[in-house]
Amino acid sequence: MNEPMSFPNPYWLLNETEDTETAFVVVLVSLPTNDAVVKSAQQLLDDNNIVIDSINTLPDKQATEFFISATTQGTWEIFQKLLVLVLNIDADVFVLPVAGRKKKLLICDMDSTIVQTETLDDIAASIGIGEQVCEITARAMRGELDFRKALDERVGLLKGVSEKLFSEIAEEVLINPGAEELVNLAQKHGIRTVLVSGGFEPIVKVVAANLGFDHYVCNKAEITNGKLTGKVREPIVDANTKLNVLKEEAKQLAISLEKACTVGDGANDLPMLQAAGIGVGYKGKPLVRSGTPYQINTSSLTSILLMMGIT
């Protein structure tokens, strides 16, 4: 019971020869607020000889913060045990160093992260080929298909479709819980916000504008006489592009990647998730669930604000 899970090491993990006691915060979000879960987390910390310096309850956020002092090695072991603890209950847990907790850059994937669906699938569904395209999308997001090939195949099936469909989907797309508050409060706290998507500009620009993102990067479909040609204009936004956007944005802000937070759900998000200080999997596909310890599986996107100490 409570055996550690296996994830890539976080940026704050030091080797044993350099390791020192550090101040960390454990953020536990339980929906609904569950005193038993809080007590179980506290007991786990006690059982592993982790000193709890203070506890901060945030009832309106359905969250509890435990401020602890421990080595980075010990904290990493505890973080992984806490992830096991919340695995089958309605709770999420995050552990971060107190120093540098708030980030300066937030980069978000769009489909199935900021919005509830895969918008390319929505377009396909509207013309009766939703099931066929959805299967290709699902395999690509699981990392079973090359993203570029999967994108070309899906867009090829949309050849001849009117570009007006983009506008219709943009008007109907549903935003995930907490997305608007996340972007709004991040900006109020001086954090640059960027939407980066493998989706297409007529939809991405509307979502970005409605939520108030500072910038967006996305794919562009080739359109002739108001209809899709079935091709995508270069350059393609794929996993490498998303990673490069992270690096370029950090460079422009003159910050290290540790000062950035990224969030996404699919295999093409994983490189940027693993490169950032906090890379958050939002209800992620299997590769993402095993690719980063920062997981939002039950709570909303506002949990990212809690990670950064923004309440």
**Is 111 among the residues known to form the active site?**
yes
Q: Where are the alpha helices (DSSP H) in the chain?
A: 35-47, 72-85, 119-126, 130-141, 147-156, 164-172, 179-188, 201-211, 239-253, 270-275, 286-291, 303-307
d(CA 290, CA 30): 21
Q: Which of 92, 109, 238, 269 is catalytic?
A: 109
**Is 121 among the residues known to form the active site?**
no
Task: Determine which helix (DSSP H) or strand (DSSP E) holds 219, and give its type and residue range.
Answer: strand 215-224
Beta bridge partners of 264: 281
Task: Determine which helix (DSSP H) or strand (DSSP E) holds 224, and give its type and residue range.
Answer: strand 215-224
- Do residues 284 and 295 make contact, with C-beta atoms less than 8 angstroms apart? yes
Q: Which of 35, 47, 53, 111 is catalytic?
A: 111
Where in the sequence numbering do the catalytic residues fall? Answer: 109, 111
